[in-house]
Amino acid sequence: MVRPAAWVVLVVLLVSPAPLAGAGPAPGTLTIGTNPPGTLFYALGSGIARVLTDYAGLRAAVQPYSGSSTFLPLLNVGELQLGVVNAVDVAMAYRGPDRLKVGGRNPFQPSPNIRLVVRGGPLYAVQWARRDSPFRTVADLRGRRVTGVYSAHLAVWYNTYGNLASCGLSWNDVQVVPVSTVGEGMRALVAGRADSAAYALGAADVQEADATIGLRALSICGDEQGQRRLREAVPGYYAVRLKAGRSAGVVEDVWVQAYDIYLLTHKDLDEETVYRVTRTLWEQNRRLWPLHSAFEEWATRRYVDPGVTVPYHPGAIRLYREKGAWTRSMEEAQARLLQEAAR
């Protein structure tokens, strides 16, 4: 079972308070952009902030936004120092709409200045329904009310798009309930205004909703054809089988969509700072694990991978070379990615 992460948020706020809306961070603070409180990314950002504050000699604070589409432009121009973002959003923002479209669209502002610090663990983007509903799979949602639009949280539009696509469905096959953010989508499900909404496995909002109404994780179509449809719909997504009891709302074995979580920075953040961040997250890796069960999949062997969608920062590369993790294939991947930036 996923352990609640609410106490992590409280501790981090006490150690290094995140600025309130309209307020700037304290001077010298590394500000980490995340999704709103209650989301998995907020919990992960809070855990990272705590470890950096406690073990790197750096002040780190979480600044929540409505979604990655809101704060990626700030990270791109250096107004944010760090950000927790998924690999698919990063690919579209880094390459820009002229170079990459998914589902026929790319609404992200070009962000060629973002760089990777750590490739973390996977995010499981689950399609949820009420436990007392008749729905068991995403295929059952044909003609039903499904949250969509996500004007301030575009990643979740792609989550649902991919989930539907795995079963050969599209937005035209469901009744779209317009919402702006992932939290609003879950509230629509709890209130009975929607039959299904997407949300990350293990998020505090999911645990709260499960305690309130009882949730059921719907299975995507995980057969060979379904997995192919998912990969083709959103490059970077892949299917994973979860066992019953893995987390709140997973009441039976299900196939779910997964993709990687990144810790990002700006290309001009000084190399020494990024090196210290990367070294701390490598050498203090196990300090993250008790803060949220999702961190247990942030193994250091995952930090460096030639399949990433954005180039690494030189400060991170310096640490990975010292640890023997930076290989010839990584050099080749880095060179290719640097050529793919939006222009």
The full set of domain ranges for the chain reads 6-121+261-339, 125-259
Averaged over 253-259, what is the pLDDT? Answer: 97
Please write the tens of the pLDDT for every residue from 127-145.
Answer: 999 999 999 999 999 999 9
Residues, the chain, total?
Answer: 343
More confident residue, 120 or 17: 120
Q: Which 3-state string (H, E, C) describes 265-281? A: EECCCCHHHHHHHHHHH
Q: How confident is the model at residue 235 (pLDDT cuts 50, 70, 90)?
A: confident
Q: What pLDDT shows up at residue 302? A: 96
Q: What pLDDT shows up at residue 343? A: 66
- Asked whether this chain's domains 6-121+261-339 and 125-259 adopt the same fold, the reply is yes
Paired residues of 119 in beta bridges: 262
Contacts with 214 (C-beta within 8 Å, 6 or more apart), sequence order: 130, 131, 132
The CATH T-level fold of domain 125-259 is D-Maltodextrin-Binding Protein; domain 2 (3.40.190)
Please write the tens of the pLDDT for every residue from 46-95.
Answer: 999 999 999 999 999 999 999 898 999 999 999 999 999 999 999 999 99
Instruction: Examine the pLDDT at 24 and tell me if it is beyond 60.
Output: no
Averaged over 1-28, what is the pLDDT? Answer: 39
85, amino acid identity: V
Instruction: Examine the pLDDT at 1 and tell me if it is beyond 50.
Output: no
Averaged over 208-237, what is the pLDDT? Answer: 96
- b/e map 115-145, b = 16+ CB within 10 Å: bbbbbbbbbbbbbbbbeebebebbbbbeebb
Q: What pLDDT shows up at residue 22? A: 38
- Distances from the Cα of 289 to the Cαs of 17, 33, 101, 297, 342, in angstroms? 21, 21, 35, 9, 35
Paired residues of 215 in beta bridges: 130
CATH classification of 6-121+261-339, choosing from 3.10.20.600, 3.40.50.2300, 3.10.129.10, 3.40.190.10? 3.40.190.10
Q: What pLDDT shows up at residue 153? A: 86
- b/e map 52-66, b = 16+ CB within 10 Å: bbbebebbbbbbbbb
**Whether 125 contacts 257, CB under 8 Å:** yes
